[in-house]
Amino acid sequence: MVSQEDNQSVANELDSKIVQQIEYYFSDINLSKDKFMKDLLTKDDGWITFDTLMTFNRLKSLSDDKSVVVKALEKCDKSLLEISECLNKIRRPLNRPLPQFDDNYTQNLNERTLHLKGFPAETKLDDVMTFCRQFGAVENIEMRRHFKTKKFKGCIFVTYVDKEVAQKVIDSQEVKYEDKDLLRENKVNYFLRKKEFSEKKNSKKNSAKDKSLKTETKSENIDTKEEEEEGDDNEANDKSHTPVRYEGAVLRLRGLDDNTKFPDIKKLFQEFGHVAYVEDVKQNESFVRFDGKEGAKNALEKAKTAQNAECEPKFEINGKEITVELLTGEDELQYWTQFEKTRADNIKKKIQKKKAFFGQKGKMWQRGRKRGYKGSGDRNGKRSKNEDSD
């Protein structure tokens, strides 16, 4: 039988998660990349209604009861969040302005952010949070996942409030999770390592291309085991080269039925913009790509206007409401990285298919040349006058 103390403990844990999630929504690190939240903060003196807040997926997964959320926020840090007197709005305090999101901010953020690798694949976010907070106050945690499968890669980005705490974790003789020592580096060194790997990879690619002009070569496998485990996302994180073709052009759809077809999705969105491509539904999820820069963002704005919606527009397919979000930041980078990889693989398959159809060099029939007559001594396959007919 569950005791009253156990129930209270569960309630306190839920309240803590709700507060942490909402504090994250209004944090510097989220507002530096969340255009939707930044736009909301420019209206109504920065106030955001709880009705709007309750449409956010992560918060809804914790509780879809607005009264539970409002009550949990009684325990929040008042220097981080401000709740209206009528308890129907929330905002970031006006005496806490947003920082300038410039190069200095990015440098400081990357020095406070650590890349930790070596977690088991089944590790949960709550377990990672508990582990990381033993070293100091945490501003944000990002669990790195494979773009297509969504499986945890075993590595995370954790941002500490203080740079000194992050450096202390790096300088520790060992940092173990379940008896396994974690690989540790800050995000500055992470990007440098990725850039070095990317340059090495591109150098080998260019060398192979030069060589292929003279003779056919076998493709070189230049990926190390470590890069394979991390999902080959080096080019996505290399600031000197970005695979993003069009910013703000892709929507992620969640909550779809497995029976949802391509025409159903295209029909829903094509009235708001030109749909360039719709991916097959996998694990109740799909992606819609629009033409041109900010094509998806403009489509959402048109849908919002058409529905006279105060916040996010709502969408239904086959009578079922779905979740629609604009890809930004790392999700957008990962989408376009996968796009480039798939495109390169398709080109390679076409080349191989073409080679298989025409045959190897020296074995193709020359255009206009007839097949030789078996009994003929003439190389062009013609019978000589001295040859007897059958």
117 and 87 assigned to the same domain: no
233-269 residue pLDDT tens: 444 444 445 677 888 899 999 888 878 888 889 989 9
Asked if the structure places residue 112 within a domain, the reply is yes
Residues 110 and 87 in one domain: no
Return the number of other C-beta atoms located less than 10 Å from residue 58's C-beta. Answer: 11
Residue 50 lies in a domain: yes
| Digit-coded pLDDT (tens) for 342-377 | 888 888 888 887 777 666 554 544 555 555 545 545
- Confirm whether 258 is domain-assigned: yes
- What pLDDT is stored for residue 241 in this prediction? 52
Q: Which backbone phi and psi does 103 adopt, to 5 degrees?
A: -65, -35
- How many structural domains does the chain have? 3
Instruction: Provide the pLDDT confidence category of residue 7 given band limits of 50, 70 and 90.
Output: low
Residue 69 or 331, more confident:
69
Residue 227 inside a domain? The answer is no
List, for residues 10-30, the tens digit of each pLDDT value: 778 888 889 988 988 999 888
Are 85 and 108 in the same domain? no
- Asked if 17 and 85 sit in the same domain, the reply is yes
In this predicted structure, the answer to whether residue 177 has a pLDDT above a threshold of 90 is yes
What CATH code is carried by the domain that includes residue 162? Answer: 3.30.70.330
254 lies in the same domain as 324: yes
In a domain, 3, yes or no: no
Last residue of one domain, picked from the residues 333, 351, 368: 333
Q: Are residues 109 and 82 in the same domain?
A: no
Q: What beta strand segments (E) does 60-137 contain?
A: 82-83, 89-91, 113-117
Q: pTM of whole model > 0.85?
A: no
Query: How does residue 303 score in pLDDT terms, banded at 50, 70 and 90?
Result: confident
138 contacts: CB under 8 Å, gap ≥ 6? 129, 132, 158, 159, 160, 161
Q: Quick one: 33 and 85 in the same domain?
A: yes
Do 108 and 141 lie in one domain? The reply is yes
Give residue-wise pLDDT tens across range 220-231. Answer: 444 444 444 455
pLDDT of residue 114: 95
- Last residue within a domain, chosen from 24, 58, 91: 91
| CATH number reported for the structural domain that contains residue 33 in this entry | 1.10.10.10
Residue 39 has pLDDT above 80, yes or no: yes
Nearest to 327 by CA among 147, 157, 102: 147
Instruction: Measure the CA–CA gap between 166 and 158, rounded to whole angstroms.
Output: 9
pLDDT averaged over the chain?
Answer: 81
Tell me what pLDDT residue 236 has: 42
Between residues 311 and 181, the one the model is more confident about: 181
> pLDDT (tens digit, 9 = 90+) per residue, 92-118?
998 888 888 888 998 999 999 999 999
Across 322-335, b (16+ Cβ under 10 Å) vs e yields: bbbbbbbebebbbb
Mean pLDDT of 300-315: 81
Is 222 contained in some domain? no
> Which residues neighbour 80 within 8 Å (Cβ) at sequence distance 6 or greater?
23, 26, 92, 93, 96
Could you read off the pLDDT of 153-174 as tens digits, one per residue? Answer: 999 999 999 999 999 999 998 9
Q: Are residues 85 and 113 in the same domain?
A: no
Domain annotation covers residue 76: yes
| Residue 381, in any domain of the structure | no
73 and 111 within one domain: no
Q: Distance between CA 83 and CA 70 in Å, rounded?
A: 9
Q: Which domain holds residue 184?
A: 103-191
Radius of gyration over every alpha carbon of the chain, rounded to an integer in angstroms = 29
> Which of 302, 317, 333 is a domain's end point?
333
